[in-house]
Structure 1
Amino acid sequence: MGMANRENFPLVPFFYFFCMLGFVFIPTEASVKKYQFNVQVTNVSRLCHTKPIVTVNGMFPGPTIYVREGDRVLINVTNSAQYNMSIHWHGLKQYRNGWADGPAYITQCPIKTGNSYVYDFNVTVQRGTLWWHAHIFWLRATVYGAIVIMPKQGTPFPFPQPEREETILLGEWWNNDVEELVNQGNKLGLPPNMSDAHTINGKPGPLFPCSDKHTFAMEVEQGKTYLLRIINAALNDELFFAIAGHNLTVVEVDAVYTKPFTTQAILIAPGQTTNVLVQASQVPSRYFMAARPFMDAPLSIDNKTATAMLQYKGIPNTVLPILPQLPALNDTNFALSYNAKLRSLNSPQFPANVPLKVDRHLFYTIGLGINPCPTCLNGTQLIASLNNITFVMPQMGLLQAHYFNIKGVFRTDFPDRPPTPFNYTGAPLTANLGTTLGTRLSKIAFNSTVELVLQDTNLLSVESHPFHLHGYNFFVVGTGVGNFNPSKDPAKFNLVDPPERNTVGVPTGGWTAMRFRADNPGVWFMHCHLELHTSWGLKTAFVVENGKGVDQSVLPPPKDLPLC
């Protein structure tokens, strides 16, 4: 399962890959796939504004990576923008190869302006829809794209073969430079301005002014079935997605096949992917696809609806489209019932290997807080914490510090549970409960089984939090509203066919329990995928120790690894 040595594979010139209308590149056999990513500033017009944004190969969204299970992938990223850059291949496990994972100052130093770095990794025992995005500052607002992993040759989908497939990237758009807004917010100690629009494949749709030409359209033929690969690339919003008049059959989440079920709408958190089948079974016409936020906490968000078009062949553009009925903005019941329907396929070919015995029990509380800030507008700034610890980003890559045993960069004493138990979801609390700052990680023994319960708290406010774990998938064995009860709730865990994911939503004022086997050595980031909360310190990392086998240790770093 280890990555081939770079020196055995001399790099040949890379090619630029462009996604052109009507063209889909599908690899025919396991091989080496090479891509060139040029990070640059491009002028893009949206919502009556034309502004420079950071893009990859001048595209917004960026190019789709098409590979097949078993392929080796080499992506040469050249940074021609004014910002430091790193790219994360979200959901790829990167076995023993954290050097290719991408989060800045966790597994690598960022790629400086004018420099390049080759991400070199194998796609092993994974197939489905994942994605890539910038993993530094808020640059993933515009630097993102899809990863499509086709099954091995001769391995069909475990659902009806679609006529065609389409990638649907849900995102956000700011009329102003998002990095300038973030810096301004930090100086004030406040959140930056919310986005000006949501987008579908980079376009807001005709419900926004000046955006008639900025609408994504997908043509279908009556009676045929289509596969949509849906990705939530938004920075800060969980989203509902639906198509007017058409049901969606969910068949995969986070590149893991699921037991199919049919729904009128899906809920998808930032970082998550969902594959659905859509049958073009309605009267030929034009139907809106639509995406709108879900927020069941009293917080301000951009609640505007982005739209795209599902258009039957032969129907003229003059026909008025039909808008779908999306769940209400705060429809908690829909959110909970939708997530409860997700189940792993758990077939002989695609089993759900849920750890039944747990070696390490972890309980992490999620909290928001306020710290003193003499230079800020109100003398305070908002922060976030896990187990009362606000994570401080290091000045060098944590994986480098771990691999070379460099002292003083991080500590491995992150607590397994919060120092002060309290009524986590009771009356709102404004105290920080002794929040401390630090770069503190949790050390995990190789091949041990871990159960992690993430508990939302009512420090300042309850809120849902999508958590992403790098380097692993995990099984979501339980979830609930209120405080986790360790004596009663585990009896209700699903240990047979729970959904297997890389990103999970912790419900507002509730908890989520996950299990995984720590069989991938290295340093692996875990963080809230709401960029606002990540920037406030809602993150940590696991140091998974090497095993004793010859193929159970972190691989040596590549020679072109960026320097800090």
Structure 2
Amino acid sequence: MHSPLQITSPHPHRFNFQAHVAFGRQTHPLWLNNTAASLRDDPYRFYNWSVTYGDIYPLGVRQQGILINGQFPGPDIHAVTNDNLFINVFNSLNESFLLSWAGIQQRRNSFEDGVFGTTCPIPPGKNFTYILQVKDQIGSFYYFPSLVFHKAAGGFGGIRILSRPLIPVPFPDPAGDYTVLIGDWYKANYTVLKTRLDRGHKLPLPDGILINGRGPGGAYFSVEQGKTYRLRICNVGLQNSLNFRIQNHKMKLVEVEGTHTLQTSYSFLDVHLGQCYSVLVTADQPAHDYYVVVSTRFTSKILTTTGVLHYSNSAGSVSGPIPGGPTIQVDWSLNQARSIRTNLSASGPRPNPQGSYHYGLINTTKTIRLANSAGQVNGKQRYAVNSVSYVAPDTPMKLADYFKIGGVFRAGSISDNPTGGGIYLDTSVLQADYRAYAEIVFQNDEDIIQSWHLDGYAFFVVGMDGGQWTTDSRNQYNLRDAVFRCTTQVYPKSWTAIYVALDNAGMWNLRSEYWARQYLGQQLYLRVYTESTSLRDEFPVPKNAILCGRASGHSTRPF
């Protein structure tokens, strides 16, 4: 079993290329992919991952987990802006497997997105090498298994994309950098949960909360008094928004899913499903141990877990009551969400300030309104978007599109506005023009919080409020410094609006991060289409692509 290439840097948020470039320009057989001309000038890294079952005990009982290189959670990916990643995944499970990369935008290359609408699964006993480029990106993200209900068994891990050495970072280099993966968890095997959903039933409340794969008291973060540390907090759970806090310590927010933010300090931070936040924490308290606390939000029964912030010169263990947090106050969470703004003076992956893109001065060319709903279809629980409950076709739609295979999907099979009708089943694909500038409104008329993610893109969260969205709602949009991210929440009986430049051609998954809802139909695919065949607009199918369904037997050689 091989470890990934490790390149160290004295600065944890910048990267020294001198040691890296010589290796990065060696010839490698996988480099003969037809994206090579575009990628070869940037450094690249190789990872070998073995995906296996293994016994895990996160909540004190034995479970069958999904491990990557024997680890639960899986290993972190450390990359730098524009790096090319070659991740060779060997599937040792007894069923097909796929990994997806939440937040890595895969410019012009939805074939590598790692969801079934675009990518054939890795069969048992086989391997596949993902070829990814973290093009013009920085920040904190994660990867996860996207097929069936594998996410409930593990297989996830953190992704951090560091800034290039000459790009200024708007805070001093911290003394340490921790990945903090939080999420709700079930004691039941993922196959039991999947069977329950297949039979048309809802899932019960999860059994507990994990921090980095560990239950109460298991997660441990060591600090030195007087020093400042970066925590990259991602909610990789299945069902619940979570609140994160550290006893007697403030958290200074500095980055959200690739965007440097105004550096506001918080005592509590709501992290909704699929979201990632970076905070700076200074060890400025008396030297002993402190609770790290994570609890569910907007639930009648609050689940809570703890970890430990350990001072290296600690005079004692954690003590006192576990600090409480907000419970069901939607207004408090909404106000916090509105306070998260882009730092307009900070550079992103390029030296120009983040505020140099005046998104609010551009006229939108299309408005898409998406409403979620729940109901029964043929006596089974289903979830829908604009009344359509997604069902997967027999062939990845991106491959069907590329090879011109008819009958797999219909562009426009879902309306771009709520229909108000009953739920029905279909393979929902929403057509959008390449380079359109779209306004997307998520309308949530249900009484639970929603969380939405769009693969292949980041977007500006321009507004959110209670009630029904109308054209007058645009009067309250933030058109100056809205946060730019890839996952957004929609509060109960509320709406959220985003602006997105559809400049990434391909077939992209737009989904609920509430995983049972995603599994039972609350998702669709956005077909960002162009007739251009130029590599500047979209890459062809990779030469190493696995072909399945009606795409089997086709050639991956260029036409």
Answer yes or no: same fold by TM over 0.5.
Answer: yes
SS for the counterpart of 1:463 is coil
Task: Summarize deviations over 1:230-256 as a string: whole Å, max 9, x none.
Answer: 111111111000001011111111121
TM-score after normalising by structure 1? 0.87
Q: Name which of structure 1's ranges 28-37 and 528-537 shifts more when overlaid on structure 2.
A: 28-37
Contact 1:286 1:322 in 2 (8 A): no
SS for the counterpart of 2:359 is coil
Matched residue, 1:418: 418
> Is 1:240 the counterpart of 2:238 in the alignment?
no
> Is 1:466 the counterpart of 2:451 in the alignment?
yes
Task: Summarize deviations over 1:499-528 as a string: whole Å, max 9, x none.
Answer: 111000011110000111111111000000
In the comparison of the two structures, how many residue pairs are matched?
A: 511
Residue identity matched to 1:361? T
Matched residue, 1:74: 86
Matched residue, 2:211: 200
Write the distance in 1 (CA, Å) between the matches of 2:502 and 2:269: 31
Matched residue, 1:161: 173
- Unpaired runs of 5+ residues, structure 2, are 18-41, 346-351, 549-559
Tell me the CA shift for residue 467 of structure 1: 0.2
Tell me the CA shift for residue 444 of structure 1: 1.1
Task: Summarize deviations over 1:452-502 as a string: whole Å, max 9, x none.
Answer: 1010124xxx2111000000001011111011121x110111111111110
TM-score after normalising by structure 2? 0.87
SS for the counterpart of 1:338 is helix
Write the distance in 2 (CA, Å) between the matches of 1:221 and 1:406: 60
Contact 1:287 1:321 in 2 (8 A): no
> Is 1:291 the counterpart of 2:294 in the alignment?
yes
Matched residue, 1:519: 503
Specify whether residues 321 and 39 from structure 1 end up closer, same or farther in structure 2 by C-alpha distance, changes over 3 A only. Answer: farther
> Is 1:173 the counterpart of 2:185 in the alignment?
yes
Residue identity matched to 1:344? T
Contact 1:237 1:270 in 2 (8 A): yes
Measured on the aligned residues, the alpha-carbon RMSD in Å equals: 2.2
Q: How is 1:344-493 mapped onto 2 (pairs within 5 angstroms)?
A: 344-347=342-345, 348-351=352-355, 352-354=357-359, 356-372=362-378, 380-413=379-412, 414-420=414-420, 433-458=421-446, 462-486=447-471, 488-493=472-477
Specify whether residues 438 and 153 from structure 1 end up closer, same or farther in structure 2 by C-alpha distance, changes over 3 A only. Answer: same
Which one of the candidate residues 520, 523, 528 is aligned to 2:512? 528
Which one of the candidate residues 527, 530, 534 is aligned to 1:543? 527
Tell me the CA shift for residue 325 of structure 1: 2.5
Which one of the candidate residues 99, 115, 118 is aligned to 2:111? 99
Tell me the CA shift for residue 89 of structure 1: 1.0
Matched residue, 2:32: none
Contact 2:245 2:268 in 1 (8 A): yes
Task: Summarize deviations over 1:393-450 as a string: whole Å, max 9, x none.
Answer: 1111111011122111111122121223xxxxxxxxxxxx322211131111111111
Aligned-pair identity (%): 27
Residue identity matched to 2:483? P
Write the distance in 1 (CA, Å) between the matches of 2:532 and 2:544: 28
> Is 1:337 the counterpart of 2:348 in the alignment?
no
- Unpaired runs of 5+ residues, structure 1, are 1-12, 207-214, 373-379, 421-432
Contact 1:288 1:322 in 2 (8 A): no
Write the distance in 1 (CA, Å) between the matches of 2:60 and 2:503: 50
Write the distance in 1 (CA, Å) between the matches of 2:317 and 2:460: 47
Tell me the CA shift for residue 160 of structure 1: 2.9
Which one of the candidate residues 504, 519, 543 is aligned to 2:488? 504
Q: Name which of structure 1's ranges 346-355 and 396-405 shifts more when overlaid on structure 2.
A: 346-355
Q: How is 1:217-366 mapped onto 2 (pairs within 5 angstroms)?
A: 217-295=220-298, 303-315=302-314, 318=317, 320=319, 323-328=322-327, 330-347=328-345, 348-351=352-355, 352-354=357-359, 356-366=362-372
Write the distance in 2 (CA, Å) between the matches of 1:176 and 1:313: 37
Write the distance in 2 (CA, Å) between the matches of 1:16 and 1:114: 21
Write the distance in 1 (CA, Å) between the matches of 2:123 and 2:423: 33
Tell me the CA shift for residue 324 of structure 1: 2.3
More helix by share: 2
Residue identity matched to 2:58? R
